[in-house]
Amino acid sequence: MRPELSADTARTSRSALLALRDVHTHIGAYHILHGVDLVVPRGQLTMLLGRNGAGKTTTLRTIMGLWHPSEGSVEFDGRPIGELATPQIAALGIAYVPETMGIFSDLTVKENMLLAARSAKRAEQMDTARLEWIFKLFPAVEKFWNHPAGKLSGGQKQMLAVSRAIVEPRELLIIDEPSKGLAPAIINNMIDAFAELKRSGVTILLVEQNIHFAERLGDTVAVMDNGRVVHAGGMAEFAADEALQQSLLGLAL
């Protein structure tokens, strides 16, 4: 064996917080993922791109144990998690914001936050320094603290959903299309908040259709098509290669 090769392999596995290898997922009779290989490097923001129906959401749901791989492996921090149930996966320090956001409309913003904070039973027990940090990232969360979450606008709901995911420290944040349906000004707020989250050192895996969003925030990129990752590499290189974007996404950045 070539020593430099094994040293390289060791380095790769240390830097990958999450790694999917040859993951196949079936939903009922349908074979949806056809061998997904995906590496999410520690401390970076990885963008998962791809046309509608490419398998992005199914990949996130498979990571979270909402579907289980029929073949292949999912490793978090070097540990296999493909067989674990969703609460066990979340307890390892992975937060997931689904496309549907998962917030409770009838409860107040405060109650929504409290439900997401596993270590607090009452609002006073929530980590105040962390709450202050969240209020700075997403002022709407503070502004509507005692209002029912159902009254928030689409963008404010999205901000609440992300706030719930970070109410306690997490190692990995997985978010499905945070900019969906948002006005450009709100998207810019969201980009700033994610840039700040990145600076805090959390590893992030984001599904995004908004190309501007992807280009501004992504360190690494993986592009899916037909249930597979068909391209993986640096975001800057991908952003500079219009022909590649055209062929993989049918549009250019």
Ligand X SMILES: Nc1ncnc2c1ncn2[C@@H]1O[C@H](COP(=O)(O)OP(=O)(O)OP(=O)(O)O)[C@@H](O)[C@H]1O
Establish if 209 lies at the interface with Mg ion (CB under 5 A). Answer: no
Compose the 115-134 pattern: x for residues touching ligand X by CB under 6 A, - for all others: --------------------
Tell me, what amino acid is at 239? Answer: A
Interface with ligand X by CB under 6 A: which range of 54-62, 68-76, 114-122, 245-253?
Answer: 54-62
Q: What one-character-per-residue DSSP string does the chain give?
A: --HHHHHHHHHHHHHEEEEEEEEEEEETTEEEEEEEEEEEETTSEEEEEE-TTSSHHHHHHHHTTSS--SEEEEEETTEE-TTS-HHHHHHTTEEEE-TT----TTSBHHHHHHHH-TT-SSGGGS-HHHHHHHHHH-HHHHHTTTSBGGGS-HHHHHHHHHHHHTSS--SEEEEE-TTTT--HHHHHHHHHHHHHHHHTT-EEEEE---HHHHHHH-SEEEEEETTEEEEEEEHHHHHH-HHHHHHHHSS--
Establish if 57 lies at the interface with ligand X (CB under 6 A). Answer: yes
The interface partner of residue 172, options being ligand X, Mg ion, none and the CB cut-off 5 to 8 Å by kind, is none
The residue among 51 and 130 lying less far from ligand X, judged by its C-beta, is 51
User: Minimum distance from CB of 179 to Mg ion (Å)?
Assistant: 13
The residue among 32 and 94 lying less far from Mg ion, judged by its C-beta, is 32
User: Minimum distance from CB of 10 to ligand X (Å)?
Assistant: 33
Pairing of strands 172-176, 203-207: parallel
Within 19-38, the residues that bind ligand X by CB under 6 A are: 27, 30, 32
Q: Nearest CA to 24 among 58, 52, 54, 48?
A: 58
Establish if 52 lies at the interface with ligand X (CB under 6 A). Answer: yes
The interface partner of residue 55, options being Mg ion, ligand X, none and the CB cut-off 5 to 8 Å by kind, is ligand X
Kindly state the number of chain residues that form the binding site for ligand X, as judged by CB under 6 A: 11
The residue among 56 and 157 lying less far from Mg ion, judged by its C-beta, is 56
Establish if 175 lies at the interface with ligand X (CB under 6 A). Answer: no
Establish if 70 lies at the interface with ligand X (CB under 6 A). Answer: no
User: Minimum distance from CB of 227 to Mg ion (Å)?
Assistant: 13
Within 34-73, the residues that bind Mg ion by CB under 5 A are: 56-57
Task: Give residues in contact with Mg ion (CB under 5 A).
Answer: 56-57
Question: For binding to ligand X (CB under 6 A), which residues are involved?
Answer: 27, 30, 32, 50, 52-58
